[in-house]
């Protein structure tokens, strides 16, 4: 007891003398984690989310040198423990992470009478390098068994209503699975295999290492491509045997699609001069198709729990960024729902979940928003999207000589704006409500013309808009 009091006393004295040094040391203990514009963590290669807990404190046992992270969101992945501040998008740089490779031991929870009256706790031991930071094997700073390294016990205090026991079970499973070693081994193995293949291709002769005749030249390239496509076809057949096989192979299929996309990108960059427009268009369509194959780590109710709709909203905001860029800054909610469900694979969501996730964007600082037109059509659009720019393009279209005589239809506006006819019709109706256009309804449908009498108020046909300068 006296020793603890002395430690606290010395810490307070040192805090008064060296406040800047202590603040710097406290902020540099944990590894930094990157987040997206919507507050979602940026996952590493082959990293998958496993479980989430809200209102979690991370408390290292040595409070004199290490920082305490208070009331944040703790995300368990296959590679890291990621701590995010409590939905504060104004400080995205304060996200921290602990690699699972730096954890040397996880303490089992002990049920006692004392544990009933305080918040649940999860204790684990973290390796700290000689420079006073959590050991990060990916950065290469320090070693788990190097000189000067030591261990620090970190306590995760769960003050929310999450499933602490379920989190601890998945924490054990992820730590024992050591997925980060599998990723590192596969990447190094592929690199060494490509290097050895290049070496044998230069001076290895016509025979491979197992004694078989090796195909060289064009025939060898065709044979290799054939074997690769046969392997891919076999993987696809195995994946679609039943639903369980599909779910187990989903991650592998997404990784395969990403590799094919990278190969197409490298092919287009190296052979741009030798390809025509048709080939380039087909490759771009293939890249777009591969990009929409799936999300490696979709947010689920099982992993997110009570935070399901909040995390789904943030992941959806990140997902619609690319479709919005291709659609000119606005996309129909139904189209976004179909694209998002297709990307989630077997983890489908309901329309109510989609609508609730979109409605939460008002509370978060994300670059997208949900908009509802007067006709009831709901769309997703960028916050930077400007109706004035759309109205200017519509005005230039309706003032053409041919359009002055026959008007324009929603299909004509859709071709000019590069959007769907239904969306173009909504823009035309909005322009009409602003007094820019007027419409004619005939058996052929809607035809819109430029409004030649802008001084007439469309809300009150008998009230003429008079400029303020003419009143005085």
Q: What integer pLDDT is reported at residue 316 of this predicted model?
A: 93
Dist. CA 255–CA 253, nearest whole Å: 5
Cα 427–chain centre separation? 30
Determine, yes or no, domain membership for 142: no
Q: What integer pLDDT is reported at residue 380 of this predicted model?
A: 93
Query: Do both 339 and 409 map to the same domain?
Result: no
Determine, yes or no, domain membership for 247: no
Domain count, the chain: 3
| 75 bridge partner residues | 52, 82
Query: Do both 160 and 112 map to the same domain?
Result: yes
Determine, yes or no, domain membership for 319: yes
Determine, yes or no, domain membership for 193: no
Query: Do both 128 and 37 map to the same domain?
Result: yes
Query: Do both 374 and 418 map to the same domain?
Result: no
Determine, yes or no, domain membership for 164: yes
Query: Do both 317 and 443 map to the same domain?
Result: no
Query: Do both 395 and 374 map to the same domain?
Result: no
Q: Which residue range(s) make up the domain with 424?
A: 387-450
Q: What integer pLDDT is reported at residue 369 of this predicted model?
A: 92
Query: Do both 77 and 165 map to the same domain?
Result: yes
Q: What is the sign of the dihedral through the CA atoms of 433, 436, 437 and 438?
A: positive
Determine, yes or no, domain membership for 271: no
Query: Do both 392 and 337 map to the same domain?
Result: no
pLDDT tens string, the chain, 472 residues long: the values are 444 444 444 444 444 433 433 333 445 678 888 888 888 888 888 888 889 998 899 888 865 556 678 889 999 999 999 999 875 544 444 789 999 999 999 998 776 666 666 788 899 999 888 877 888 776 655 444 444 468 889 999 988 888 888 899 999 999 998 888 876 666 565 554 444 444 344 344 444 454 444 455 566 677 777 778 877 777 766 665 655 555 555 566 666 666 666 666 666 555 544 455 555 555 555 555 555 556 767 888 888 888 899 999 999 999 998 888 888 788 999 999 998 988 887 788 999 999 999 999 988 888 899 999 888 889 999 988 888 888 999 999 999 988 888 899 998 888 888 888 888 898 999 898 888 899 888 887 889 999 888 777 666 666 656 555 544 4
Q: What integer pLDDT is reported at residue 29 of this predicted model?
A: 79
Determine, yes or no, domain membership for 21: no
Given 355, 378, 401, the domain boundary residue is 378
Q: What integer pLDDT is reported at residue 200 of this predicted model?
A: 40
Q: Say which CATH number the domain at 319 has.
A: 1.10.10.10
Given 359, 378, 397, the domain boundary residue is 378
The structure's pTM equals 0.65
Query: Do both 322 and 437 map to the same domain?
Result: no
Query: Do both 412 and 353 map to the same domain?
Result: no
Query: Do both 78 and 166 map to the same domain?
Result: yes
Q: Say which CATH number the domain at 67 has.
A: 2.30.29.30
Query: Do both 362 and 416 map to the same domain?
Result: no
Determine, yes or no, domain membership for 435: yes
């Amino acid at each position: 007891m006296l020793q603890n009091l002395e430690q606290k006393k010395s810490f307070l004295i040192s805090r008064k003398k060296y406040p800047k040094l202590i603040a710097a040391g406290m902020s540099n203990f944990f590894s930094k984690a990157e987040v997206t514009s919507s507050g979602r963590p940026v996952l590493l290669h082959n990293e998958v989310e496993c479980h989430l807990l809200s209102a979690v404190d991370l408390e290292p046992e040595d409070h004199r040198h290490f920082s305490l992270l208070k009331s944040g969101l703790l995300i368990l992945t296959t590679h890291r423990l990621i701590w995010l501040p409590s939905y504060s998008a104004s400080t995205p740089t304060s996200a921290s992470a602990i690699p699972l490779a730096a954890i040397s031991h996880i303490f089992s929870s002990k049920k006692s009478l004392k544990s009933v009256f305080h918040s649940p706790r999860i204790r684990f031991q973290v390796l700290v390098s000689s420079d006073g930071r959590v050991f990060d094997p990916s950065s290469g700073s320090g070693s788990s068994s190097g000189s000067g390294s030591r261990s620090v016990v970190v306590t995760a205090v769960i003050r929310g209503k999450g499933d602490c026991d379920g989190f601890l079970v998945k924490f054990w499973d992820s730590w024992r699975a050591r997925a980060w070693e599998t990723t590192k081994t596969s990447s190094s193995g592929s690199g060494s295999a490509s290097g050895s293949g290049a070496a044998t291709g230069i001076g290895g002769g016509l025979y491979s290492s197992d004694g078989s005749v090796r195909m060289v030249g064009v025939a060898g390239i065709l044979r290799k491509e054939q074997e690769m496509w046969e392997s891919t076809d076999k993987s696809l057949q195995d994946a679609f045997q039943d639903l369980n096989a599909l779910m187990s192979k989903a991650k592998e299929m997404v990784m395969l699609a990403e590799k094919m996309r990278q190969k197409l990108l490298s092919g287009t960059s190296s052979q741009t001069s030798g390809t025509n427009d048709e080939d380039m268009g087909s490759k771009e369509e293939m890249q777009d198709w591969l990009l929409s194959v799936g999300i490696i780590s979709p947010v689920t109710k099982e992993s997110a729990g009570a935070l399901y709709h909040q995390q789904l909203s943030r992941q959806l905001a990140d997902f619609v960024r690319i479709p919005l860029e291709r659609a000119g800054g606005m996309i129909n909610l139904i189209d976004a729902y179909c694209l998002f469900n297709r990307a989630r694979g077997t983890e489908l969501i309901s329309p109510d979940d989609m609508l609730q996730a979109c409605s939460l964007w008002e509370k978060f600082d994300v670059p997208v928003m949900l908009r509802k037109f007067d006709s009831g059509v709901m769309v997703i659009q960028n916050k930077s999207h400007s109706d004035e720019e759309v109205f200017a393009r519509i005005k230039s279209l309706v003032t053409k000589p041919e359009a002055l005589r026959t008007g324009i239809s929603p299909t004509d506006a859709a071709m000019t704006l590069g959007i769907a006819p239904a969306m173009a019709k909504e823009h035309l109706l909005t322009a009409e409500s602003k007094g820019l256009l007027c419409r004619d309804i005939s058996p052929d449908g809607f035809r819109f013309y430029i409004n030649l009498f802008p001084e007439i108020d469309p809300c009150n046909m008998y009230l003429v808009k008079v400029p303020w300068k003419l009143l005085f």
